[in-house]
Amino acid sequence: MAISPPEQRIWWNQKVERGELVWIVIAFLWGLLMFFMMVYWHLYGKQNLSGEVYRIDPAVYEQRVEAFAEKYKIGEEADMPVVKAPPGGDTYMLARLWQWWPILQLQKGQTYRLHLSSLDWQHGFSLQPVNINIQIHPGIEHIITLTPTEAGDFTVVCNEFCGIGHHTMVGRIHVVE
Ligand code: CUA
């Protein structure tokens, strides 16, 4: 660590070492390549999520999710409603201290618009075992268009530390045939 100024105060006029210059050029070109690969992977690699993001009042979001859950509820599991989302339509999940609510039932091969938001503070939406990670903030609504390709039980893990109950904040999505 430098605790005194460089001997030559006008250091930026000095010739850059050849080796250093080579690394600067490599890093620059790599960064440029990765920038364009982001767009390519989005279009052809299907790796990046096609998300839409809107501002929303947490209270309004809560009402929407509750109305959705009430309308399409098919059962209960661990004191939480299990909601069968309408195929091809809007489906909702909300994050709050310390739960992902409600439990969703989706159908394999159908496309859904999944809405996600938080009512209190930052939470994480980490869909397991598939590797999808989204930061969820209050006041911001994410809409993800997704089509489950496999049946089974999926877990939503909160991966942003949100306090004493963080480790218990686990949601569920059932995908049926
Ligand atoms: Cu919610 Cu950690």
**Whether pTM exceeds 0.85:** no
Rounded to the nearest angstrom, the distance between the alpha carbon of 154 and the centre of ligand 1 is 17
Kindly tell me if the per-residue pLDDT of 1 is higher than 70: no
pLDDT tens by residue, 5-61: 777 788 788 888 999 999 999 999 999 999 999 888 888 876 667 778 999 999 999
Residue of 124, 116, 132, 131 whose CA lies nearest to 163: 124
Q: Which residue has the higher pLDDT, 48 or 128?
A: 128
What are the pocket residues of ligand 1 if the criterion is a CB atom closer than 6 Å to any ligand atom?
98, 123, 158, 160-162, 166, 169
CA-CA distance, 28 to 152, in Å (whole number)? 44
pLDDT at 6: 75
The 3-state DSSP composition of the chain as helix, strand, coil percent (nearest 5) reads 30, 40, 35
Which atom of ligand 1 lies closest to the CA of 95? Answer: 1
CA 164–ligand 1 middle distance (angstroms): 9
Residue with the larger pLDDT of the pair 97 and 9: 97
pLDDT of the residue at 18: 92
Give the position, in ligand 1's atom list, of the atom nearest the Cα of 159. Answer: 2
pLDDT value for 163: 93
Instruction: Report which protein residue has its CA nearest ligand 1's atom 1.
Output: 123
> What is residue 48's predicted lDDT score, i.e. its pLDDT?
66
